[in-house]
Structure 1
Amino acid sequence: MASTDSSALRQNFPVPGDGLDATRMPGHWLLARLGKRVLRPGGVELTRWMLDALGVDPEDRVVELAAGLGATARLALARHPAAYTAVDRDPTAVAALSALAAPGPTEMRAVRSDAADTRLPDGDASVVYGEAMLTMQPEPAKRRIVREARRLLDDSTGRYAIHELCLLPDDLDPALAERITADLREAIHVGARPLTPTDWTDLLADEGFTVTAHKTAPMALLEPRRLVADEGMVPALRIAGRVLRDPAALRRVLHMRRVFRRHRAHLGAISLLAVPTPSKA
């Protein structure tokens, strides 16, 4: 597979939200504009765990929902699946994803569509996953997306995984949960609605899945150690340099980091692996 880093993507394609004011744009697109490739709450380590748990192999037909700029796509393609389809509703993201080169015989395509209504064939995928996207949806939309994932999966071999923000512990006081959610919304300018591990499990169960494995990780997206682990030392230094040269971006990034740190005892990342629940006879 051809290597496509964030700087190359920025040279050939604008980053989604590039035309927006740094004070107003969603936090994840601001970070992308600054050069950050990995925009997942548990970092590349939890993404790798997710792909390992899914067991993606050359027999699989993979669908990635809300694939963004392709950080996870490259990891999935490196496993040489039979087919890989990236779904995203942003035309800029679709253009960037279309530029990725597929290895060997992998059939690859990127389609502009909504994760809740992909218009892809029923039961045509053996693997479906999505990261850092269900958290941003209200409950009805969460359910529509999970339901769509269930529709796409083959009943016998299908596996589904998510990688999202979570609230900890399961018995977190509802008032504190609401305060954390409100702080997140204000900091990242997106309506984040994370769930507890049990609530994520129940959501998947309600929509036809059985969770078979899960893993949690700290929410350390903007911590220096995670930044270096996810991006590499040189790219991390470049990102830091861009932040320091942009006062508006610096204020936003520092504010997001303060919110993440303030709630770090109760805010984490989670990945869950699930399989379709057998229909009752």
Structure 2
Amino acid sequence: MTAQPRIPAAEQSAARAGGHWILARLGKKVLRPGGRETTEFLLDNVPLQGSTVIEFAPGLGVTAKEILSRRPSRYIGVDEDADACANVRANIAAVAAGPSGSHEVINAAATASGLPDATAHVIVGEAMLTMTTDKHKKEIMAEAARLLRPGGLYAIHELCLNPDTISAEHATAIQRELATSIKVNARPLTVPEWADIARSCGFEVIDCYRADMALLSPGRNIRDEGIKGTARIFFNVLRQPDLRARVLTMRATFNRHKDNLGAVGLILRKQS
């Protein structure tokens, strides 16, 4: 069977597009499950100034701007979505603090970046591992381990399941409903399961931050987007019924499972 050409995310219909792109179309900039607070925890607790930093799946480039504000010597974004690469390149051009030519964005998969071994001091990845199978999670983490120098740090921000003792049956039911709602094969894990996968790929957990998964709550949006930004999103939701239907479906799913969905930020160190 001949493969169908890929439709750019920005051109996909409201019924088909992934939930993160729906929210981006509505003007939402912070698309991470634990909000800006979890991202700030990660960036405040890894050595970015003067370091070579790789970001997997930078998306809209919001975190890229935060990383660049901390003055790394080199920033490399790796994203397999051409639209995302264009977004991040624009942000780099606007705020880059390093020497000319020291920052770049590569259109490649996080499992096969093509970069040399031991390139980076720090790797950052947010809200991407959740959207893959456990096998693919390990492949991405293995690439991160390959790219990091000995003792390098991998900062991840992902969706997690609560409590840590949740049954496999309940976890599977939530994962299936999430996948249906956000149109992406989401597979969040408990925090101990995230730690187990990290250890299997040669990392040790050195710090952990937990937050509520309140991506669509008014309070979180005001903290993440500001009052003007939240008002703009609300206005866009009102005037675009096809996108509004998707948002309401996602919000209902998140609310239904609010006691079992959370966010986690983990700082992982490559073991020698």
TM-score with structure 1 setting the length? 0.91
- The reply on whether 1:62 has 2:57 as its aligned counterpart is no
Residues 106-148 of structure 1 show CA distances to partners (whole Å, capped at 9, x for unaligned) of 7210110000110011001000010000000011111000000
Residue of structure 1 aligned with 2:106, choices 105, 108, 111: 111
Residue type at the aligned position of 2:178:
L
Q: Deviations over 1:239-262 (max 9, x none)?
A: 110111111111110110111111
Structure 2 residue 117 is the aligned partner of structure 1 residue 125:
no
Aligned to 2:38: 46
What's the Cα RMSD here? 1.3
Q: What is residue 150 of structure 1 aligned with on the other side? A: 145
CA distance in 2, matches of 1:234, 1:129: 28
The one-letter code matched in structure 1 to 2:33 is P
Residue 98 of structure 1 pairs with residue 93 of structure 2: no
In 2, Cα distance between the equivalents of 1:55 and 1:233?
31
Q: Work out whether 1:275 is the aligned partner of 2:269.
A: yes
Deviation at residue 104 of structure 1 after TM alignment? 4.0
| Alpha-carbon distance between aligned partners in 2 of 1:177 and 1:97, rounded to the nearest angstrom | 34
SS of match in other structure, 2:210 = strand
Q: What do residues 182-239 of structure 1 show as CA deviations (whole Å, max 9, x unaligned)?
A: 1101110000000000000000000000110111100000001111111111111111
Is the Cα contact below 8 Å between 2:72 and 2:98 reproduced in 1?
A: no
The size of the alignment, in residue pairs, is 262
The offset of 1:17, in angstroms, is 1.9
Provide the C-alpha distance between the structure 2 equivalents of 1:228 and 1:74, rounded to a whole number of angstroms: 20
1:50 and 1:183 mapped to 2: Cα distance? 29
Of 162, 168, 191, 2:156 maps to: 162
| Off by >6 Å, runs of 4+ in structure 1 | none
Partner Cα separation in structure 1 for residue 48 and residue 10 of structure 2: 33
Q: Which residue of 2 aligns with 1:176?
A: 170
Using the size of structure 2 for normalisation, the TM-score is 0.94
1:264 is matched with: 258
Aligned to 2:198: 204
Matching of residue 21 in structure 1 with residue 21 in structure 2: no
Q: Which amino acid aligns with 2:85?
A: V
Aligned match of 1:7: none
Aligned residue among 245, 256, 260 for 1:251: 245
Contact kept in structure 1, 2:54 and 2:78, CA below 8 Å: yes
Structure 2: runs of 5 or more not aligned? 1-7
Gaps of 5+ in 1: 1-15
Distance (whole Å) between structure 1 residues aligned to residue 98 and residue 164 of structure 2: 44
Match of 2:234 among 235, 240, 261: 240
Kept in 1, the 8 Å contact 2:73–2:98? The answer is no
